[in-house]
Amino acid sequence: MDIFEKVTKNMGPLGQYADVGYGYYYFPKLEGEISNHMTFRGKPMIVWSLNNYLGLANHPEVREADARAAKEYGMAYPMGARMMSGQTRFHEQLEQELAAFENKEAAYLLNYGYMGMVSIIDSLIDRHDVVVYDSEAHACILDGLRMHLGKRFVYPHNDLEKFETSLKRARKLADQTGGGILVITEGVYGMAGDLGDLPGILQFKDKYGFRLLVDDAHGFGTMGLTGAGTTEEQKVMQGVDVYFGTFAKAMAGIGGFVATDKAVIKSLAFNMRSQIYAKSLPMPMVIGAIKRLELLKTKPELKAQLWTIVNALQKGLKNKGFDLGRTASPVTPVFLKGGPYEGTQIVADLRENYGIFCSIVIYPVVPKGVIMLRLIPTAVHTLEDVNYTISAFAEVREKLDAGKYSTGTVPDVADKY
């Protein structure tokens, strides 16, 4: 079969709906200043789907720093990969500040968080090593593990009993191969919003002799007393061996970093293929990240305001009887009963009649018969936004229970791809 014929006949679990959802459910175009209120298809919306936790995307000091750096250096500088011609003192400054913030010996910038994680895994382990990882690990972790030529064991999400069973198997195999054990988990799980049980995992560390890598993309900047992340929140910063954070969530930017021992960072810098063979993070992104980190550290009121909105939203929804699952972070999933058809109707109703824009998650990401509406609160949302949204969700649930989303046709909302 011709490759083009194959891929066009099998568009995948999401692509098969492109003709009915493109531009509306998938690849929507939000317009206006990045904030709690934006425009979608000419209509004003309360937006609950942007990873702008601390509201830094349009913070005036951030905008000024970004603009000043772009004017002075342009978007291309430095030109080249870090190892060849892309090194600057600002890259090193940001790395030093991030390492100190995470209480690690050293840090290394990543030009893109997703590919950075893939390369971290690829560089840390070889075919003799064994990996133990959580079943709800992010796609970047799974893609990194696809490159691993050795053995790996997955355990059910946060199930410490099954985790230890996997550790026993991993220890036995690693002793045979002469390799080590790498455990991978997340700080905050981005879909359900719950936390990885880092203290529970670490209680087995001395017994089984593993190293722990934590992906804290949603925890960096939002969790912990100072915003240093879930490791700070759970008081395990010293026990976590490798800490991964991204600028794409709380920092409202692009890129990421890895923080660990100085000798390990040195090894990663010379072996992470996604960094060696790709362009260095551009200067405006680096200088902008330095400013964002400064604000994260010096303006605790930003995180405090985020959590004011988080607590009001989650408490209000729970008081109305909504199921928010096991979230313990700003990520706010709202679980309803229904199928993909009802889910699309609900989202269209929220956008067209209530002016609320949020993300929808359906099977196979969640079980059949479940609809998840995923809300991302930010520091720029208001209590008025919260109260209006809770009221609208209550009305939508009444319609769902009455079967009003089970009949009729899905509105023709798709743009032509």
Lowest-pLDDT choice from 59-63, 263-267, 349-353, 401-405: 401-405
Do residues 207 and 279 share a domain?
yes
CB 201 within 8 A of CB 195: no
Do residues 49 and 70 share a domain?
no
Do residues 199 and 309 share a domain?
no
Distance (Å, whole) CA 10 – CA 4 = 10
pLDDT tens string 130-170:
999 999 999 999 999 999 999 999 999 999 999 999 999 99
Q: What is the pLDDT of residue 340?
A: 83
Torsion of CA 222, 204, 262, 196, to 10 degrees: -20
- The CATH number of whichever domain residue 88 belongs to comes to 3.40.640.10
- Residue 17's pLDDT band, with cuts at 50, 70 and 90, is confident
Q: What is the pLDDT of residue 1?
A: 86
Domains contained in the chain, number: 2
Do residues 327 and 285 share a domain?
no
Segment 345-362 shows an average pLDDT of: 93
Q: What is the pLDDT of residue 109?
A: 97
In this predicted structure, the answer to whether residue 414 has a pLDDT above a threshold of 80 is no
Domain annotation covers residue 259: yes
pLDDT tens string 284-335:
999 999 999 999 999 999 999 999 999 999 999 999 999 999 999 999 999 9
Do residues 140 and 246 share a domain?
yes
- Residue 409's pLDDT band, with cuts at 50, 70 and 90, is low
Do residues 78 and 193 share a domain?
yes
Q: What is the pLDDT of residue 406?
A: 86
Do residues 31 and 79 share a domain?
no
In this predicted structure, the answer to whether residue 242 has a pLDDT above a threshold of 90 is yes
pLDDT tens string 207-228:
999 999 999 999 999 999 999 9
pLDDT tens string 95-116:
999 999 999 999 999 999 999 9
Segment 398-411 shows an average pLDDT of: 82
Please name which of 301, 310, 316 lies closest in space to residue 375, comparing C-alpha atoms. 310
Q: What is the pLDDT of residue 365?
A: 72
Do residues 46 and 74 share a domain?
no
Residue 134, domain extent: 60-298
Do residues 255 and 308 share a domain?
no
Tally Cβ neighbours within 10 Å of residue 132.
Answer: 27
Torsion of CA 113, 118, 121, 126, to 10 degrees: -160
Q: At what angle do helices 262-269 and 113-124 cross, to 10 degrees?
A: 110
Q: What is the residue-averaged pLDDT of the chain?
A: 94
Domain annotation covers residue 408: no
CB 288 within 8 A of CB 57: no
Distance (Å, whole) CA 91 – CA 147 = 28
Phi, psi values for residue 371, rounded to 5°: -115, 130
Residue with tokens 């990882």, as numbered in its chain = 133
In this predicted structure, the answer to whether residue 410 has a pLDDT above a threshold of 80 is no
In this predicted structure, the answer to whether residue 389 has a pLDDT above a threshold of 80 is yes
Do residues 232 and 330 share a domain?
no
Domain annotation covers residue 288: yes
Domain annotation covers residue 416: no
Per-residue tokens: 261: 């021992």
Q: What is the pLDDT of residue 416?
A: 61
CB 198 within 8 A of CB 234: yes
Distance (Å, whole) CA 244 – CA 142 = 15
In this predicted structure, the answer to whether residue 194 has a pLDDT above a threshold of 90 is yes
